[in-house]
A = this chain, B = another copy of it.
């Protein structure tokens, strides 16, 4: 910076003002300084800038698994907005592990990021960040009654629509394949499932709700047990990973879809439209969800929002494909 100052015949402070601040520098000087900076290939040092001005443009993004297209889409939406607004994304995979998540949060804190977007694993993480003055937006789910801003899919609505769709086809025994109901995602989807049964006036057999772990192979095994133990004419899988397992088991058993059994899943991902028949699902608008997270966080950072926490709930869209059809006659 000194070099630029000397070359342009001004002081360092003026260079700083000419390059970043607006006003506070005559047009003539500003242009001269910018030309010199360009010529010398001067690149300002973010670290020094941030240190001095006690601000930073980096944003931490804490997600569970980049290899799951849901999280990849979310991250892509977030990154798109951040980049266009001159921010940087520090991305961390926490693998769904609370310890890794907390460790990552501490690193982000140390880096003095301007904010964090997190798909929380444990409530302690957003809490710790907030307490340290870092703005936090929870993406996809919220834990506890944390006071953070959040952008969520309307899980109850989506599951309700999927279930209504199946019920309208005459399915009365729909197996719900689900991995967790402690987070707002699983809880919402289960609630939507129940609500649809209730609205239809059909009593729900609790044995139709089967729990598995968040893993395609486990889901396949669970589907296997479900098919053996319960008379179901349809399966509703609570997310894209479980759907893979369910589909694998149905194919292995050579059950005709949807003639013999219908399959529907929460969270549309690319393979669902490529398999034959295509899987009926709900599109969560995941990339948009990511964009909203980033917009909300930036608005918060710029102090453009009322203090009260804001929760944005995005309605998913039912996507009907070939995997669902009329329930077989008895």
Contact = CB atoms under 8 A, between A and B. Distances in A.
Given A51-B48, A76-B66, A276-B275, A93 B83 contact: yes
A244 B270 CA distance: 10
A53 to B, nearest CB: 10
B270 A251 contact: no
Interface string A104-125: 1011011110000000000000
> Range of interface residues on chain A?
35 or more
A212 interface: no
Contact of A274 (B45, B66, B75, B271): B271
Given A75-B66, A274-B247, A276-B275, A47 B56 contact: yes
A215 to B, nearest CB: 14
A93 B111 contact: no
Contacts of A90: 58, 88-91
How many copies the complex holds: the figure is 2
A132 interface: yes
B43 A106 contact: yes
Contacts of A92: 79, 83, 88-89
A65 B75 CA distance: 11
A43 B110 contact: yes
A106 B42 CA distance: 10
A287 to B, nearest CB: 8
A87 to B, nearest CB: 10
Given A43-B132, A244-B274, A271-B274, A111 B88 contact: yes
Contact of A47 (B50, B73, B274, B276): B50
Nearest to A74: B66
Nearest to A89: B91
A106 to B, nearest CB: 7
A47 B111 contact: yes
Nearest to A51: B47
B107 A45 contact: no
Interface in A58-83: 58, 65-67, 69, 72-73, 75-76, 79-80, 83
A328 interface: no
Contact of A72 (B51, B56, B66, B244): B66
Interface of A: 41, 43-48, 50-51, 56, 58, 65-67, 69, 72-73, 75-76, 79-80, 83, 88-93, 104, 106-107, 109-112, 132, 244, 247, 251, 270-271, 274-276, 287
12 contacts: A47-B50, A47-B56, A47-B111, A51-B51, A66-B66, A67-B287, A75-B91, A83-B104, A89-B91, A89-B92, A251-B276, A270-B271
